[in-house]
Amino acid sequence: MAKVMLKKKIDVQTTTLSEVKSYARKIWLAGLGAYAKVGSEGGDYFKELVKSGQRVESKGKKVVVEQLDAANSQIDQVRSNVSSVKGLVEVQLDKVEKAFDTRVGSALNRIGIASKHDVETLSAKLEELTALLERVARKH
């Protein structure tokens, strides 16, 4: 019985070794076949790969240019929107500033503090009066 089992193990090992040798030979032959095919058709295959690469590159450039144009268009639109908003804000700030100046001037006037315009008017009248006094003083 031990002899029969030993013989079966040897037969299995021999069969496995034979299959491995057969598979290794097929791999070797496939490599040789690929080498031979590349040698005979390699130039044409290389040219085909170059053409495929050029097509992919062209499509990629087209997509990049389209996306870049779209992004630039959006940037221009945002700039335009910002400019118009900036103009509106400046107009509103001018209105607020004028309203503030008017109210502050009114409040100062109510408590008896002269405005800049009042001081300038008074200064002009004072200069006229000074000039008149100087003329009168020269005549006498």
Digit-coded pLDDT (tens) for 68-101: 999 999 999 999 888 888 888 898 999 999 998 8
- Which tokens hold the place of 29? 């032959």
The overall average pLDDT reported for the chain is: 83
> Which pLDDT score is estimated for 101?
87
pTM equals 0.38
Between CA 30 and CA 32 the distance in angstroms is: 5
71: Cα within 13 Å, side-chain hemisphere: 6
* pLDDT surpasses 70 at 14: no
> Which pLDDT score is estimated for 114?
81
Rg of the chain, C-alpha, whole Å: 50
